[in-house]
Amino acid sequence: MKLLITGGAGFLGARLARTLLARGQLNGRKVNTLVLADLFPPPADLMADARVQARTGALLDQCAALGTEGFDGVFHLASAVSAECELDFELGLRSNLDTTRALLDALRAHRGTTVPRFVFASSVAVFGSDPALPLPAVVQDDTLPTPQSSYGVHKFICEQLVADYTRKGFIDGRTARLMTVSVRPGRPNGAASGFLSGIIREPLAGLDAVCPVAPETRIALASPARTIEGLIAVFEASREDFGGRTALNLPALTVSVQQMLDALAAVAGPEAVARVRFEPDAGVARMVGGWPARFESARRERLGLRPDTDFKSIVLQYVQDNPAAVTIPLRV
């Protein structure tokens, strides 16, 4: 089968690509070709695999051509992130709404005898507390999205586009709402939630980090491994098992910032935690504080998806996956 990953050079896209290449198959079919579309070239290890091809440049400019390639499946991960969308309204519209519709229309125009399976990576930023409809303490499968940021609005609109193109038979679409992913390696991105990786990643590299929210702030998050597991499970699920066209909330571990720092201390000692300083940022705190922190989902349980067990295991996952980025002595 031939697959497309948009955002394929990014952290999640590259990790998904490596996972699919290692598996060698998806939904019982051999992965022959994996096309990674991104603004930047994919990592060298991926390009060394004969099954990988790159499509480099602005995704919006590539959509028409991509539609002609006859993909069996698409993982649409490319997106402008939360803080970027708040700072640059036009960038968010172009990168999120315009690009997603252009990609869907290209696939619709050139679909063959079978429609491509299409997984859209949405976000829990579609939820928020609206004056007319306050956010419940626990988000359920039937909780109504009320996004409170441009990024959340974009994601929710795209969810509906995917659902409608699926209803019309243009694609076999399914949407997975991702939790905040921590711990991300590499450089910080423009997401408002970026500090939730930075307060772990930087101290483990012997660097200082800033936390813009209070220690008691509670977050719903998932490790990179659980996130990729969820995306693949959503792709492989039958239409009946996925359960309709409404977006699925992936599993979430609920932790406070203080619990995250406690896990860091357990792995790397109090010296690592001492590198984190609290500098309140009202804008970030308002955005992050408006996101739901607790989820329950019978739908994701039916797919066999479970949240991470604790945050210490997530820190250890980062250490194992990124040994060169950890420069301080560890306690484990």
Query: Residue 57 falls within a domain, yes or no?
Result: yes
Q: Is 269 found in the same domain as 245? A: no
The reply to whether 167 and 97 lie within a common domain is: yes
Q: Count of domains in the chain?
A: 2
Residue 263 lies in a domain: yes
pLDDT of residue 100: 98
Do both 208 and 230 map to the same domain? no
List helix spans (H) across the chain: 11-23, 44-47, 59-66, 82-87, 89-92, 99-109, 150-167, 195-204, 224-236, 239-242, 257-268, 270-273, 282-289, 298-302, 311-321
- Residues 148, 205 share a domain: no
Residuewise pLDDT in 10s, the chain (332 residues): 999 999 999 999 999 999 999 999 999 999 999 999 999 999 999 999 999 999 999 999 999 999 999 999 999 999 998 888 888 999 999 999 999 999 999 999 998 788 999 999 999 999 998 899 999 999 999 999 999 999 999 999 999 999 999 999 999 999 999 999 999 998 877 677 889 999 999 999 999 999 999 999 999 999 999 999 999 999 999 999 999 999 999 999 999 999 999 999 999 999 999 999 999 999 888 888 888 999 999 999 999 999 999 999 999 999 999 999 999 999 98
Query: Catalytic residue at 318?
Result: no
Residues 104 and 244 in one domain: yes
Residue 85 lies inside a defined structural domain of this protein:
yes
Do 162 and 242 belong to one domain?
Answer: yes
* C-alpha pair distances (Å), 107 with each of 92, 115, 166, 169: 22, 8, 12, 11
Same domain for 209 and 134, yes or no, is no
Q: How far apart are CA 19 and CA 148, in angstroms?
A: 34
| Judgement on whether residues 133 and 261 belong to the same structural domain of the protein | no
Rounded CA separation 220/172 (Å):
28
Please indicate, yes or no, whether residues 148 and 215 belong to a single structural domain of this protein: no
| Same domain, residue pair 143 and 267 | no
Give the pair of three-digit tokens for residue 142.
Answer: 């039937």
CA dist 98 and 216 (Å) reads: 38
Query: Which pLDDT belongs to residue 81?
Result: 84
Supply the range of the domain harboring residue 212. Answer: 195-219+252-295+308-325
| Long-range pairs of 194-201 with CB within 8 A, sequence gap ≥ 24 | 194/83, 195/284, 196/221, 196/257, 196/260, 199/257, 199/260, 199/261, 199/264, 199/276, 200/260, 200/264, 200/315, 200/318, 201/318, 201/325
In a domain, 187, yes or no: no
Residue 330 lies in a domain: no
Catalytic residue, candidates 75, 127, 151, 195: 151
Among 51, 55, 52, CA closest to 41: 55
**Looking at the structure, do residues 205 and 230 belong to the same domain, yes or no?**
no
Which pLDDT score is estimated for 190?
Answer: 64
CA distance 269 to 264: 7
- The pTM assigned to this predicted structure is 0.94
CB within 8 A of 286, min separation 6: which ones? none
Residue 71 and residue 143 in one domain? yes
Residue 199: which CATH number?
3.90.25.10
Return the CATH number at 127. 3.40.50.720
